[in-house]
């Protein structure tokens, strides 16, 4: 995955931010967080001990998440989102969370799971979409018809996704080819993740 960068950040701030979004997204295993931050520390920041710094930053991010999640309500936006996505899956849509890019979504539609009449479309988003929701409380969802055509405002698939999100208490609207969901990615660390 590419190094997460933001304008006007020092290398140290950018690395800390990258570790933070990786940990909070929870899309990969903890060893991948350290590995990805170490790559950024070596290649983008030129640090002498990239693995050590990566481990420290990931440990700090995990500790901060553990402390913060104790203040979250019993049901977070993440929980509501997972319930909405599960309802879309049960209605015959394929849901892909944290996929690398649109090619992954297209492959699902071309693959064996996309050949049956039960698959009515695909809803997907990337890690960088999740990272945005971690910090800014807005997740952008892509939704495609079985032929990989993007949804359009007011079409039945777009409305179905919007209704499912609303039914689970999430405000969302269609904007420029995607659905914007007002939701913070407050995913609790589970098992050995925190």
| 25-84: pLDDT as tens digits | 999 999 999 999 999 888 877 777 889 999 999 999 999 999 999 999 999 999 999 999
Per-residue confidence (pLDDT) for residue 45, from 0 to 100 = 72
Query: Could you write out the DSSP letters of every residue in 53-71?
Result: HHHHHHHHHHHHHHHHHTT
- Which two three-digit tokens encode residue 187? 């995913």
Per-residue confidence (pLDDT) for residue 59, from 0 to 100 = 97
Per-residue confidence (pLDDT) for residue 117, from 0 to 100 = 52
Looking at per-residue pLDDT, the higher value among 94 and 190 belongs to 94
Alpha-carbon distance of 188 to 163, in angstroms, equals 25
Model confidence, pTM: 0.86
Alpha-carbon distance of 109 to 92, in angstroms, equals 12
Is residue 116 within 8 A of residue 94, CB to CB? The reply is no
Q: For the segment 93-143, what is each residue's pLDDT rounded down to a tens digit?
A: 999 999 998 888 888 888 755 444 557 899 999 999 999 999 999 999 999
Sign of CA dihedral 51, 58, 86, 96: negative
Question: What are the residues whose beta carbons fall under 8 Å from the beta carbon of 109, sequence distance 6 or more?
Answer: 94, 119, 122, 144, 146, 147, 148
Per-residue confidence (pLDDT) for residue 109, from 0 to 100 = 80
Q: For the segment 129-184, what is each residue's pLDDT rounded down to a tens digit?
A: 999 999 999 999 999 999 899 999 999 999 999 999 999 999 999 999 999 999 99
- Strand order across the beta sheet in which 121-125 lies: 93-97, 121-125, 138-144, 178-182, 172-175
Alpha-carbon distance of 56 to 187, in angstroms, equals 21
């Amino acid at each position: 995955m590419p190094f997460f960068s933001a304008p006007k950040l020092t290398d140290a701030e950018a690395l800390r931010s990258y570790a933070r979004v990786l940990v909070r997204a929870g899309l990969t295993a903890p060893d991948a967080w350290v590995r990805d931050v170490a790559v950024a520390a070596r290649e983008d920041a030129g640090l002498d001990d990239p693995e050590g710094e990566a481990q420290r930053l990931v440990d700090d991010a995990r500790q901060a998440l553990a402390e913060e999640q104790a203040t979250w309500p019993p049901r977070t936006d993440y929980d509501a989102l997972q319930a909405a996505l599960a309802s879309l899956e049960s209605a015959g849509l394929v849901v892909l969370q944290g996929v690398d890019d649109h090619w992954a979504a297209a492959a699902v539609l071309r693959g064996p799971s996309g050949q049956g009449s039960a698959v009515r479309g695909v809803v997907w988003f990337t890690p960088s979409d999740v990272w945005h929701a971690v910090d800014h409380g807005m997740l952008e969802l892509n939704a495609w018809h079985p032929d990989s055509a993007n949804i359009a405002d007011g079409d039945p698939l777009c409305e179905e996704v919007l209704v499912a999100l609303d039914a689970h208490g999430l405000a969302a609207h269609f904007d420029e080819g995607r659905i914007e969901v007002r939701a913070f990615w407050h995913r609790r660390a589970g098992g050995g993740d925190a």
